[in-house]
Structure 1
């Protein structure tokens, strides 16, 4: 069976990462979370005080971008890749609300996107990968053999994110704050000048508002088999 590139794009908190991880594991592909890469850069900006409130020091980040190393290492216990920033495991830190509230600002910067896209494309040279994000099927891998665009109702996505935060011990963030953050991110992602979130013309639409994880997996596997066996 030929190896392909699978690009999964869509709105935040719709289960893209869980879906992509599961699919990659099922078909023996490598999973790459592109969103985690932008979150790692955002965390770098926060920890190095490049933010003054919501304002980011673009010039300083530009001078330091080449020194920001983002990579993935496999967790042998869970069998899933985790995000490393300059050699440190930051998988938990990058999922915080503080990072979530600023990641759209960082990911909208052209030179940041160019740096991350170049790294992502290098990761996909050998194919056999599943990558999820906002512009994978439109910018990173426009020739990907399988493209999926995932969406779900905002309130359902907010509930998923809220439950995830609670499961990780966040008892302060309210559902209303999560929903507002999600709507703001949607707007920023769709209206940014550099690589806005749009559905590729040849992407398959998947609305998973009322689908179970098993139903999603069966749907994805069916599409994968159709593409790789033709």
Structure 2
């Protein structure tokens, strides 16, 4: 039985899912699930526990008992605040490797579904509409060109003071896209009933408004 409506937003890294999902969740006062953070947290927990990234059983064990807590934009691993650490490119690359393992994905299914609570949930990820919440009231597949996604990430990291190289970042984006699309379990693809939004030439507010309009059409958002 459904406990709350779900907006499932899937798409490749750098398409703007996190920004859009946080904004929509805040406007509707809904809960937020950043599923990508869960895989990054597994990667971070593995580094702390000395578990190799190809140890599927060991990583699945970490995922089942993941002591995760979200507080606004802060992410906690047990009693340690790890928001900045898990947003690094290195952690993102490790998380992409971890997410390709079927045992890890299976171990995190239950945890992700527990985030579905009233008044509603905005779920940000790669397989929210295809695997985790196939009955979501609205499914959005948010994408952008690989070049634009690399450019956005480059700008974001430079503004935070990181020394990054755009060609190298572009190569990492392409490699991550391949891993996400080719993994055996829950490959990245739009759900058959998803609304596809290409954000390459759109600003943030335009994308937010498009998503809100789709929610309004389904009676899930106020007309204010």
Q: Pick closer, same or farther for the CA change 1:44–1:225 going to 2, 3 Å.
A: same
Aligned to 1:61: 59
Question: 2 CA distance for matches of 1:27 and 1:132?
Answer: 15
* Cα distance in 2 between the residues matched to 1:62 and 1:115: 6
Identify if the C-alpha distance between structure 1 residues 122 and 59 changes in structure 2 by more than 3 Å, giving closer, same or farther: closer
- Structure 1 length-normalised TM: 0.89
Structure 1 residues 135 and 229, CA, compared in 2 at 3 Å: closer, same or farther?
closer
Q: Which runs of 5+ in 1 are unaligned?
A: 74-79
Q: Is structure 2 residue 181 aligned with structure 1 residue 190?
A: yes
SS state at 2:114 partner: helix
SS at 1:19 equivalent: helix
Quick one: distance in 2 between partners of 1:154 and 1:201?
22
> What is the Cα deviation at residue 194 of structure 1?
1.1
How many pairs were matched up? 219
Deviations 1:65-106 (A, max 9, x none): 444322212xxxxxx342111231111000112112211110
After TM superposition, give the deviation of residue 110 of structure 1 in Å.
Answer: 1.6
Aligned counterpart, 1:124: 116
CA distance, structure 2, for counterparts of residue 118 and residue 13 of structure 1? 26
Q: If the length of structure 2 is used for normalisation, what is the TM-score?
A: 0.91
Q: Quick check: 2:60–2:107 contact (8 Å CA) kept in 1?
A: no
SS at match of 2:74: strand
Corresponding residue for residue 210 of structure 1: 201
Q: CA deviation at 1:3?
A: 5.5
Aligned to 1:87: 79
User: Cα distance 1:229–1:125, how it changes in 2: closer, same or farther (>3 A)?
Assistant: closer
Pairing 1:227–2:206 present: no
Once the two structures are superposed, residues 23-66 of structure 1 have per-residue CA deviations (whole angstroms, 9 ceiling, x without a partner) of: 11111111111101111111112233323xxx533343344444
List 4+ stretches of structure 1 deviating above 4 A: none
Q: Which runs of 5+ in 2 are unaligned?
A: none
> 2:62 and 2:37 mapped to 1: Cα distance?
19
Match of 1:33 in 2: 34
8 Å Cα contact 2:30/2:118 also seen in 1:
no
